[in-house]
Amino acid sequence: MTSRPLPSEFLRQQLVGRVRALFNDVEGGQQPVPPSDDALFERDSPIRMVHADIVGMMVGGIRSLLLQMLHPHALQGVLDHSNFRADMHGRLRRTARFISVTTFGQRDDARSAIERVNRIHAKVTGTLPDGSPYTASDPRTLAWVHMAEATSFLAAYLRLVRPGMPGHEQDEYYRQFAVVARALGADPVPVDRAGAEAIFRELRGDLATSPAAREVADLVLNQRPEGAPPALQAMLGAEAVGLLPPFARSMLGLERPGLTALPASVATRAMGRTLRWAFRQS
């Protein structure tokens, strides 16, 4: 006779199942990426610690998308070659899957995923509204996409999980993530905090505001993934907007969260502790 799990264990299993369904096509048979000892990066190294925190990655992912849409080439690629309006959740899932495979998966699987993305990027070409051409494989565009991701994931981790992360570990995070960025063709790519700050300032000159960028930002913040409570999306979005540089909020027409920011931040941290318990990460 099979005994029923304790109520706490039942709740934990339910929570894990719902979160995994947000990031994996469970109905299609997709399973979470199992951590490998033969991955591109060692266990317990900075990139694996940062990318293992689910709440930090959700907040960082939203911040990253908002920043990416300020680059005219990246934005136009999304407008021309993506069904994001109808399937924003699918786009987020695919991005999360790529990060997971390249961070935790077996190194051959990681390399295959990178090659697959490179093939896709080679086909993403078009023309900007001013008539100039763009391609998703442009090294400088890829550099901004990488900068948006790396700075966002680390900023969320520092804010929500480990404010005291040593500087040398933060530098190592950039060095490790650069391995994936270079394999994707990005250039320039930082290998430490000083380089990240310098490149971020340099690439900021490539950015531009537009009604389309603001439309995508609105979709990112307000389109709720299937199965996710509305309060969850609002909470994660408020935290992500609060982490944006002031110039980015201004360009996207987003106001800095006011008095609601503190409760949202407290709730986000509490949710992070709950999920780390559920996934037995702490």
Q: For every one of its 282 residues, what pLDDT tens digit does the chain have, with 9 covering 90 and above? A: 455 555 555 554 544 455 555 555 555 555 678 899 999 999 999 999 999 988 888 899 999 999 999 999 999 999 998 877 666 666 777 888 999 999 999 999 999 999 999 999 999 999 999 999 999 999 999 999 999 999 999 999 999 889 999 999 999 999 999 999 999 999 999 999 999 999 999 999 999 999 999 999 998 888 765 655 666 677 888 889 999 999 999 999 998 655 445 555 565 555 555 555 545 543
Phi and psi at 207, nearest 5°, equal -85, 160
Question: Exposed e or buried b for every residue in 227-248, given b needs 16+ CB within 10 A?
Answer: ebeeebbbbbbbbbbbbbeeeb
Among 266, 50, 26, 265, CA closest to 151: 50
Record the pTM: 0.84
